[in-house]
Amino acid sequence: MDVLQLMDEWGPEKVVCVSDRRTGMKGVLVIDNTARGMGKGGTRMSPSVTVAEIARLARVMTWKWAGVDLFFGGAKAGIVFDPTSPDKEAALRAFARKLSNEVPREYVLGLDMGLTERDAAIVQDELSDRGAMMGAPAQLGGLPYDELGVTGFGVAEVADELMLLPGKRVAIQGFGAVGAAAAKRFAELGAVVVAISSVHGTLVDADGLDVARLLKLREESGDLAVKEYGTVRELGAELRVPCDVLVPAALQDVIDADLAQELDTTLVIEGANLPTSVGAQEVLAARGITVVPDFIANAGGVVAAAFGMDARYSPFPVNPATVLDAVSAKLRANAANVLVEARNRGTTPHVAARELAQERVLDAMKLKGRVA
């Protein structure tokens, strides 16, 4: 593809592609917009990573940081490699070395699909820099996002702000780090989780699933937990289950305009990045179904990352309770504000949230003389 075609008035400012002959690793870093601060965003590893995908996600990070009004810029990185390969560590080390000019001066890596807390420790070791990657294990002074479940926690907090959750029915697509943490927090807040899915199928129980049992099975069996729990239905059933709150927390582009006509819910909280199409958002708005945009609802990770960035060279560990309190307060306030703005502007929450974020980024670009 022609990388120049990715560039518009916002960015990206820099696209760096790297490769390593010995491991076969290929990778890309996209720094989208740094008007409000240095580039910060997750790093994913998958055999199917593309430059366009990473550029799209880097743009989401630009709006996400601006949406929560924290001062970092949008960026994202991707490694074209199989995360289950026995050569994963060698590929990860090669990727870090190849980007040593940019990391950590212009971009700090973070955890995303295919990478773990141990991988963060490996990158820190390879570059001899604690500040090179966020999400390292607590034993190394890091803030373990997945262990805390900050993104899923924030998703449930947003739902509770907009709809008092005790007794409400919740359906969750995805039982990874975000979906599992969301299920746990929804249960703690008194909601009834009626559907959960993983790549192995969908569990549905109108009377409510046993979330504690499911979480225990996940610790033992990973994505297979749904099959260990009971009889599964086809994938996609979780999106059509009657519920009060629907949480797409798996992949992007899962709800299009046609599927949006079938949803039987009151509130959609986007746990995954880019799960709904523009057409779907318009259909849902016309049907009176509220959708909280991804870069508002799943921003718990960036709030936690901000704490991690602030403390990355400190000998003192971050207090997890402080992080969770901040995630709750920040995301609840932002979600409520975006819905008010959507009503005032006569548009969808996605458009209103993006306009708010763009206004903040544009102000920073003007102040720095990047635009007239």
State how far the Cα of 148 lies from the Cα of 306, in Å rounded to an integer. 15
Nearest to 104 by CA among 79, 78, 122, 130: 130
State how far the Cα of 169 lies from the Cα of 241, in Å rounded to an integer. 10
SS (H, E, C) 263-312: CCCCEEECCCCCCECHHHHHHHHHCCCEEECHHHHCCHHHHHHHHHHHCC
Let me know if 138 is exposed, middle or buried by CB neighbors in 10 A (0-12, 13-18, 19+): middle
State how far the Cα of 321 lies from the Cα of 301, in Å rounded to an integer. 14
Question: What DSSP designation does 12 have?
Answer: -
Nearest to 247 by CA among 304, 297, 305: 297
Q: How many CB atoms lie within 10 A of CB 205?
A: 15
Nearest to 297 by CA among 169, 146, 157, 186: 157
Which residues carry out catalysis? 76
